[in-house]
Structures are given as C-alpha cells and as structure tokens.
Structure 1
Amino acid sequence: MHYSKLFSNGILIACLLIPVSSFAADKVSACVESGKTLYAAKNYTKAKETFTRCVKMDASNVDALLSLAGVLLTQDDLNGAEKYFNEALKYMKRNSPYWSYVYSMLGDISLKRQQNDQALKMYSKSLEYNAANVNSLVGKGVIVEYQGDKQGAAEYYRSAIAVEPMNLIARKRLVNLEPDYLTDEEILEALKQRYAVKPETAELTDADRELFAAIHRDEQRQGVTYLKNKYPKMPGEYVVTLNKGTGFEREILTLDGYKALEKSIGQDAFNVFNRAGVAVRDIYSLRDMKGNKIYTPESTLTDSGFYVYTEALKNRKRFLLPSESVPPTPAFLAQLEQRQEDLKKAGYIEISRSEVKMLENQTLCSEDTLRKNLGLYVLNMSKNERRYFVQARTSDDKAGVSYYYVMSSRKKRNPKVKVPSNALVETYALYGYTLCASDGELIQ
C-alpha cells in the first residue's frame, strides 16, 4: 500500500485556511503567508525554508508550526513532521479548530510507519474532536480493514462518503469490499445489474453469492480494461456502466463479459506457459507451488492459477510440472531439522541409500521389515527424497541389527571401525539361517 497516494491531498488545507488578515502587520504572519504561497505553487523546498524561518522568529506560533509540519509531511520527513505537529499541540488553545486536524496527521504518520495501533489511537482522538474528519474516517477504515474487520471498514468509508460524496479514495476502497459488506438484497440487485440472474429472482443462493464474488474479483483485476484491449470493438453486452455522467462513473462486467474474460485469460495463460517451455500436453496439469491445480475443468484459471499466470508474464516460474514435487515449506523444513536433531540425541546415525540396499541384500529383509523390527528409521524429506538412520545405541539385539551390518560393511573400508556384537545376527549366522524369509518378513 502506498500511503502517500491515500493521504497526499489536503495536508496543509487546515493551515491554509487560518486567517491572516488580522496579523497582516506582524512579521511572523507575513512570513507564514509567504510560505503558504510557495506551498500552493508546489515549491516545497522553498516553502520549508520559509516556514523554518517563521518558526525561528516565533517558536510558539501555531500557524508557523503547523505549516512547517505539513510541508515536512508532504516531503515524507516523518520525524520532522511529527516533531512540529506535537510542538503545535503544546501551544494550541482549547477552542482551536485544529485539534482534529493535528491528530489526523499524526495518524497518517503512524500509518506510513506501519504502526497501526498508534495510528488507530491518533485517528480515534481526531474523531473525538471532529466526528466528520474525512481523513481520519478513511484512515481508521484502512486500519480496521487490515485487521480483518471488513464490515467495520465499510462503515468508516461510508461515513467518509456521507461527509464528502466525491471522496474517491473512500469510494474505491468501499467498492473493493462489496462482497464482504453488501446485504443479500444488495448482492442480488448487483447481479441483476450484471444480467447474471433473472430479473424476477427474489432469493439469493450460495451459488449466486459465489458468482458475484468471482465477477467482482475480475472487475478489481481490471477485467473491463483487459476486454477493451482484447477487442478492437468490444461487444456491448459485455459491460454495463453505472452512475454514467457522474464523478464516480463505474464500468462493471456482465455475466457474458465475465465468461468471455475467464475464457480469454485462460487461453492467454496457455500461450504464456507454452512459450515458457511447458509442453502442450502438460499445461492443463500444471499446479501451483502448493500442489493445487491452476486450471479448472472448464480450462479457466483458478485464483492461484491467475497469480501463477501473472508471475509467468514477469518471467517468474511459480508453477510445478506434473513430474515435479511440491517444495517443502520453511516450517516443514524446520520441523525436519528438529526431527534430525532428536534422532541424533536418541542415538541414531545417518546412513546412505546404498547402505540401505546393502542391508536388504544381507538380511533378505524388506525395507518395511527393517523399519518395523530391525532399527532402521526413514525420514521423508519430500516426495522424492528420503534420509535413513539406524539405531546405534541399544541393548535390543533386534533394534541393533541394522547398525551391526552397516558397521561391518564400513569396517571393510576402514579397519579401525568397531563392529558391535549382536547375538541375533551371530546366532542366525552360526546355523546358516537368513534373518528373513523370501517374502521379506522376519523369521521368528
């Protein structure tokens, strides 16, 4: 989120409205007026220099302090802006109309720092002084939206629009939240506007709700723009325009437009994956990095498939071929690391895959039998990767069988290796028996 885009407007509006006519003869007031002129001309560097000079002339002049804080915030000097807004609070009179403004700006500073709890406190304080402060209403809405309270966020955005109907920030964020706060009746009406249900439909079904969420999602992904770029002359039945001729005109997808969009994106993605080197036969079997299919049975993209496609457009591979395994998550890798440490503490040593094959050949036991009865432990790292361990610290002859054979094999390469005694192995060898029968099961 680029907070500067959310709150760039109106930073110095309160300051610019401070009357100066009664202080026309005052040097500080004249200085501040000169700085405001520079600010209005977007000459922020000169404005900052001027306001700094004004504050030096009178360090308790609220007008000068607020003006300097405002221009510093415009320049993203958060520490400087915070300092002078707090300085202004020290000298503001109880009946000053700017308490709400200052706390709202302090909220913006905390929000830009991603200090959401502090920002929430500042916006709340601002609204105590002025319940109609639009900046604070929008800012508070942003924070509660981040916290997961979509309904609460919608209420703040609606309140902001009630005060300032043309506030495009609040309107845009409110539109983004429609699937989360609209009532069943409102969703049903929205579907009728999109010709997605029959005009006489009176009750919203779960399938209708899911359809609205899907169409709305594609609208927020700039689906209308996509279709306009796709078709030199876009079919009129694909898009409907709401609030035509107003400052918040909005184009939405019809059901036909949604279906055309989904089909078109699915085909575009097919071509992108093919150009990325994926064989045609494998494209519809691609999965995301969690192993989920990225294509639906209708050859359209799933939500995760859309992300994989957009990443592929940036030459970033975020898909798995049918032959590729799902990569382990960091949490799973940490769990495996801890399991290996636990095995070592319990007296296990790691052996190679070739040593496992040696065990099977020497004992005639299956891997399953070696695991169940003879001290072999298998740690599954991934679909195609396994690590093997044998118990090296045990008084149980059965559990020590695998370790005995491993050490005997290693002694052939290194005479210094010590081979532990194992009564079970030695008894079977004495009588010429094998440990397991032809089916790989242990002979009792």
Structure 2
Amino acid sequence: MRLSVIGCGYLGAVHAAAMASIGHEVVGIDVDERKIEALSRGEAPFFEPGLPEILRDGIASGRLRFTTDMAEAAGSAVHFVGVGTPQSKDGYAADLTYVNAAIDGLLPHLSPGDVVAGKSTVPVGTAASLAPRVTETGATLVWNPEFLREGFAVQDTVDPDRLVAGVPSDASGERAADILREVYHPSVAKGTPFIVTDYATAELVKVSANAFLATKISFINAMAEIAEVTGADVTQLADAIGHDVRIGRRFLGAGIGFGGGCLPKDIRAFSARAEELGRGESVAFLREVDEINLRRRERAVQLVVEALGGQLFQKRIAVLGAAFKPHSDDIRDSPALDVAVRLRGLGADVIVTDPEATENARRVHPQLDYTRVRDEALQGADAVIVVTEWDEYRRQLSPEHAASLANGRIIVDGRNCLDAAAWRAEGWTYFGMGRP
C-alpha cells in the first residue's frame, strides 16, 4: 500500500521506516530540510536502536523516501499525521499548532476515499473538531494513537501489543478500519488486538495509559518518601506488593522519577483538558503525581549534599546519565539532567557522562562538563550519582573498578539499580532512594 507520514520527528520517522520494513511504499514529509536530508541519507536524527538499519534498508529498496514537499502525499491511500503536540508556553494545555498546520497542508492533496490517520497525542475532542475539514475532501479521518516506548520504538511499531482505531460511526468508518487492518496486516494476522472505537475513546486510550503509568511510578516514589522517614526499604516493598497479580512489579521502581517528551506534558495536558470540560476534579490527583515526580529530583540532590557534609563547592561529582531513560538520547524533561544542573547550581564541579545523550545535553546546558567515556567521569570524583540506568552503570561497573578511579567512596543510586550490599562491602557509602 502507498502511505504518507506527515511529520518526521521521533514518532513519524520510526513509523515511516517501520511501515516500509513490512512492505509498504512510504513517503515521509517534514518542513525541516536538514532532517529530511539526513533521513534521505539513511541517517537517524536521534538515537533509537534498530532505526538506522530499517532506514537504510527502506531507502535502498526504494520503498522509503523523504521530502519537504507536501504535494508528494497525493496518491497515498493512508496519510499518517505524527507531528508534535508540545506543552503550551503559557500553560499546561497541549499546543495543537503543528497538528492544525499538518491537516491544513494535507487537505489540498487528499482524494475521495483516502484515510487520514492521526497518531499524535491530542486532547480528547481534537479528532471531532478536525473531522469536518477532512470529510469535505471525501477522505475519512481516523485516530490511531501510538504506544511507543523510546528504546523499543521499532519493535513496538512492527509488533505492537494492541492497535486502536477511532473512527466515525458510519460506513466510511467501517471502511477506514478495514484499510488500517490492511496496513497493519502482519500484526493483525498474528492476533494482535485491533480495537475499533469512537474518536473520543481512541484519544483517551493514549492519555489515560500515560496517566496510569505516571501514577504507578509516582505511587512507588510516594512510598519511598514514607520509607525514608520510617527506615523501610521501598525496593523490598515493591517486590512484595508486585507479587499481587492485580498490581504487578513492572514500573514499581522507585528513583528520581519519569521524564521525556510524553509523560510529563501529557498528564499536564490531560489535567488542562479536564478543566476545560468542567471535570478537573476527576483528574486532580495528576497534579500530585506531577509534584511527587519533581520532588524526587530534589531528594536526589539532597542526598548528595548530605553525603558531602553539606558542602558542594568545588567538589567533583560524576553524574552517570543525561538521557531521561536508557537506550535513548532524549533529554526532554530529563530528571537526570535536571539533577546535574541543580548540583552545578550549588557550586559543584559536575561532570556528566552518557553513552548517547551528551551532545544533546551540551546544546541545552553548556555550563556543564561532559564526556561519553564513563571512566573519565569517575576519575577523581568526590561523589558519584547514577541517574540513568544504562547497563554500563548498573551491570558493567563494579564497585572495585569505580574505587580505583574516584577520590571518594560516596555513591548515590538515583535509580535503585545497583547492588547496595556489594558497593558497601567494597567500602562505599551507599545512598538509595527510599532505602535504608
């Protein structure tokens, strides 16, 4: 099938390449000329495991190409819209400028029978407001939210755990759903759930999934706050309650909280939209979820300050991590980078290391020192803090090796990903989040 993908950022570039990898003919369209030039050369503009390979394969096969010309979308059976919906500069609501611009630019190139599939995360009610403009061309709007995990985005696109299609309640909706089933044929054929619903439900599936995940993470971090004043161990607590099948252990890892380009802005936009709908009280708890999340960053900084006797001036601190999560170079609302900046603001000599995110971090926070080499960051450090759980910190760094490089033996485990007993046995003073 011939497809177009409007917007070639994180979501769109992955979707375009993944659709080409399963046999479709795909054109990716974006206004950013430098991004399009890089993608056309088979170069991913961000770090995502597996993406460079399917980009190069798609381009070499002739099934995948990129352009800045929206007219190239004409003739596609399905047009995916995957542009960003950032937080508004003057509040918590989602900024739909790019969504509206994408639809406006696409309209002149639509033909009767085309399907426009929105993939961007939008406030509930957005699809219903856009649908009349699309319908006037004879095309049909559906909402097909994405559920990508950074670091696993290719896998999640090619082999998703579910597919959701919000469609209009008439024959055009049924036809559009059938066309999407064809697009995702490999997944549908293997039994992946394909859920057809109305616009509002499809939009809510995405934001409510993010809200639930954020709530689960902040819940265990709230328990960490209680553990810190009672002497309990939040890691053992999470293990115990995680055995309950109604709760589960995943995402019950206490630490410095969540970040990235989705969860923080999406729960804020959800709260703002609920207020607009007159139901702000229904999701009022999300404000506390957000506040708990931000408090954990401050707690990590506090642990470093306490460990160094309240004096950070000219103390060398190795910050292990800059990306908001491992297997990514995304520093948007990164708790790791926020902690590094706060420590620098308190007078410390901060050296940040990350396998993939140092250049992105340097562009945003040039006041910090950076290295991609872990051991260079550890050399001469008075204290070490782990803030992104890359394997080269949690699995491949031994306390003995770290001790041979650092000046001091103070380790703050901002992700509770280290073996506390092993580090203490080697003479390190170990501090965890919500751990004795």
Sort the TM-score into its range (normalised by shorter chain): under 0.3
> Is the helix fraction higher in 1 or 2?
1
Who wins on radius of gyration, i.e. which is larger? 1
Q: TM-score, normalised by structure 1?
A: 0.25
Higher relative contact order (CA 8 A, sep 6+): 2
